Amino acid sequence: MKLYQFDLAPASKRVTFFLKETGIEVPIVQLNVRDGDQFEEPYNSLNPFHCIPFLELADGTVISESVAICRFLEETNNMSKKLFGKTSKERAIIEMWDRRIEIDGYVPLINGIRNKFERYEGKVLPGTRNDLPQVPAIAKRGIESCRILFERLNAHLNTSPYLAGDALSIADITGYEAVQLAIAIEMNFDEFEEVKAWHEKLDRRFKLNE
Ligand SMILES: N[C@@H](CCC(=O)N[C@@H](CS)C(=O)NCC(=O)O)C(=O)O
């Protein structure tokens, strides 16, 4: 089994934090996606989405998508810590938050960043190189979408230490990276004090684990 990563990328960080939290170990190969390693063989054929992270199994199966990779690793390793939940109810609540954060915050901000900063010219959509123009309005819309999400998260985090209750879950990892993207796109979210406090708590935890 091999996990293909680029340590600086948000999607890779989601898997890295999951591995650190659970103690699961997987051999890692670094691909520099900024230099276009993902378009070179054998990686180009291994993963047609041309993004990291992706996991290559011993039988040749390739799994991409950070959450799919983490879920597979959790289900195939017998670790006591479960970031996807232990009961049906826990799993549903965790997935609910994870998807809301990904749909309303993470993806709109990724699209925003790729449409805002010059370094993404020609790379507007992840895993592509083409001449699609950058559209600054997409960055503005991404921030608006994330603002609505943060308002909701702020109210929720006032009553809960982590998104799905008393324990950290995969949804918190997605949420942490969404806040990192909000910082990267220069969004001001000072008014969301609960979100900031939760992000700082996660920041200390993940940095301690480094
Ligand atoms: N939804 C995917 C996102 C994967 C993704 O977009 N990866 C980016 C880095 S964060 C990438 O590999 N980009 C390469 C490129 O755009 O060329 C996941 O969570 O795994």
pLDDT tens digits along 12-27: 999 999 999 999 999 9
What's the pTM value of the predicted model, to 2 decimals? 0.97
In angstroms, what is the span from residue 126 Cα to ligand 1's centroid?
6
28 bridge partner residues? 3
Pick from 17, 21, 34: nearest CA to 126: 34
Calculate how far, in angstroms, residue 11's C-alpha sits from the geometric centre of ligand 1. 6
The number of residues in the chain equals: 210
pLDDT for the residue 208:
76
Do 120 and 72 fall into the same domain? no
Q: Are 83 and 150 contacting, i.e. CB atoms less than 8 angstroms apart?
A: no
Tell whether 107 and 202 lie within a shared domain: yes
Question: What is the C-alpha to C-alpha distance for residues 3 and 133, in angstroms, rounded to an integer?
Answer: 32
Q: Which residues contact 207 (CB under 8 A, 6 or more apart)?
A: none
Token pair listed for 103? 């749909």
Question: Does ligand 1 come within 6 angstroms of the Cβ of 151?
Answer: no
Domain identity same for 134 and 41: no
Structural domain contains residue 81: no
pLDDT in tens, 123-142: 999 999 999 999 999 999 99
Q: In this predicted structure, what is the pLDDT of residue 210? A: 66
Centroid of chain to Cα 43:
21
> Hey, whose CA ends up nearest to atom 6 of ligand 1?
126
- Among 76, 102, 132, residue at a domain's last position: 76
Determine the pLDDT at residue 207.
Answer: 87
In the chain, which residues have pLDDT < 50?
none
Dist CA 18 CA 28 (whole Å) = 14
- CB 170 near ligand 1, within 6 Å: no
Decide if 53 contacts 29 (C-beta within 8 A).
no
Q: Is residue 51 lining ligand 1, measured as CB closer than 6 Å?
A: yes
Task: Please name the residue that has the structure tokens 């995969």.
Answer: 170
65 Cβ below 6 A of ligand 1: yes
Co-location of 67 and 102 in the same domain:
no
